[in-house]
Amino acid sequence: MSRRAVTLAVASALVLVLAVVGAVMPVPYVALMPGPTTNTLGDNGKGVPLVQIDGRQTYPDNGHLNFVTVTYRGGPEARIDLFTALRGWLSSDTAIVPEETIFPKHESQQQVDAENTRQMQDSQQNAEAAALHELGIAVPTRVVVNSVQQGRPAAAQLAANDEITAVNGVKTSTVAQVKAEMNKAGVGGRVDLDVLRADKPVKAALTTVAGQDGKPVVGMVLSEDYKFPFKINISVGDIGGPSAGLMFSLSIVDKLTPQSLTGGKFIAGTGTITPEGQVGPIGGIEQKMIAARRAGATIFLTPKDNCAEALSARPKGLRLVRADTLHGAIQSLNAINSGRGDVPACSK
């Protein structure tokens, strides 16, 4: 064999080796694919209603109000290889995105998963509040201690999950009210807190110190929680994220009212929800629409800020209905069921 032939053979072998190594080399990308879609009017697969309401009359609906999900492959602890990424780029139902899109730098996969779980829990609570607000059912709020800061006055007398019911004799039901009373006390002033701990009344007397902004603080991180007048339980397993909020709210409204929101139709959708019923944008709209259509959905409720992207990738046979608010989404479904055409649609 000539020297030239040997050189070509060796070079070809090296190219082949490099190609094989490159194909299996981990890359910092994540593959997003259509995930499971679940009917919020159905059960969780174990015979238990996915949205279960106790203490209030409920009504059946034989249609679908499905929330949709996105599954992923990859991540800092299980990166996909180059071959998988290339195959995803060529696939019509897979999106290949930079790893930091899903896993921000300096956050572990466990931290991201924990945050997604927290977002799902917040989404469920917001959905319940939004649904009851839409139905005109009063939902009082309460102020809860999330955590206390070590080295601050609160650390010695307060604990997580304590409910602050009054400050210096003034009843409080919002974080703003607590802060207002603290500001009245001033830095170095005394604040007497009425607290509920595991439903038992507790007193706490604290002296404020100056916070970073110079305002009086005692070192407690607060949040607002809701006192729901009856029990609503949403069971979705290990699914995380906030994007099912709209569909949870619609399911609760549907179950609590005699009129069917679906009219027997297969409706799917997505969108975050605030306690006031505002619908917000989500990620992975293309994969979620594909999942919905494959499951049989013909109508897809779409947050207005996702409309442009949704229009460019809408699967055939799927009608996009723009959802700005929970109230608007309900009006749209009622209009569709009555055969009216005045329904907000996605437009570029």
Q: Is residue 347 part of a domain?
A: no
Closest by CA position to 249, among listed 54, 53, 37, 44: 53
Rg over alpha carbons for the chain, rounded to the nearest Å, is 26
- Could you tell me the residue range of the domain that residue 216 belongs to? 141-226
301 and 157 housed in the same domain: no
Is 23 inside a domain boundary?
A: no
Residues 267, 161 share a domain: no
What is the predicted pLDDT for the residue at 1? 52
pTM of the model: 0.80
Residue from 251, 288, 304, 332 carrying the catalytic annotation: 288
Instruction: Identify whether 18 is part of a domain.
Output: no
Q: Is residue 213 part of a domain?
A: yes
**Is 80 in the same domain as 179?**
no
Residue 212 and residue 177 share a domain: yes
Q: Is residue 292 included in any domain, yes or no? A: yes
Is residue 130 domain-resident?
A: yes
Neighbouring CB atoms inside 10 A of 15's CB total 10
Are both 33 and 127 inside the same structural domain? yes
Nearest to 53 by CA among 41, 68, 35, 65: 41
Residue corresponding to tokens 């996605």: 346
CATH number at residue 275: 3.30.230
What is the pLDDT at residue 24? 58
Total of domains in the chain: 2
Domain-embedded: residue 346: no
Return per-residue pLDDT of the chain as tens, 348 residues.
555 554 555 445 544 444 455 555 677 888 889 999 999 999 877 888 999 999 999 999 999 999 999 988 887 777 888 878 888 778 888 888 888 887 787 777 778 778 888 888 888 999 999 999 999 999 988 999 989 999 999 999 999 999 999 999 999 998 999 999 999 999 999 999 999 999 899 999 999 999 888 899 999 999 888 889 999 999 888 788 889 999 999 999 999 999 999 999 999 999 999 999 999 999 999 999 999 999 999 999 999 999 999 999 999 999 999 999 999 999 999 999 988 878 999 876
Same domain, yes or no, for 130 and 241?
yes
The kind and range of the H/E element at 70 are: strand 64-74
Residues 195 and 60 placed together within one structural domain of the fold: no
Q: Is 99 in the same domain as 240?
A: yes
**Within a domain: 248:** yes
CA–centroid distance for 98 within its chain: 21
Among all chains, which residue has been given the structure tokens 């055409």?
341
Active-site residue flag, 203: no
235, 122: one domain: yes
Cα separation of 318 and 96, whole Å?
Answer: 24
- Domain-terminating residue out of 165, 198, 226: 226
Tell how strand 231-234 and strand 64-74 pair up.
unpaired
Among candidate residues 123, 243, 249, 332, the one labeled active-site is: 243
Are 145 and 190 members of one domain? yes
* Residue where a domain stops, chosen among 226, 257, 291: 226
129 and 248 fall within a common domain: yes
Per-residue model confidence (pLDDT) at position 304 = 95
One domain, residues 271 and 328: yes
Q: Which of 200, 226, 252 corresponds to the end of one domain?
A: 226
The CATH number of the domain holding residue 176 is 2.30.42.10
Q: Is 314 helix (H, G, I), strand (E, B) or coil?
A: coil
- Whether the CA torsion 222, 225, 227, 232 is positive or negative: it is negative
Is 288 labeled as catalytic in the residue annotation?
yes
pLDDT at 18: 44
- Concatenated DSSP letters for 96-128? EEEHHHHS-TT--HHHHHHHHHHHHHHHHHHHH
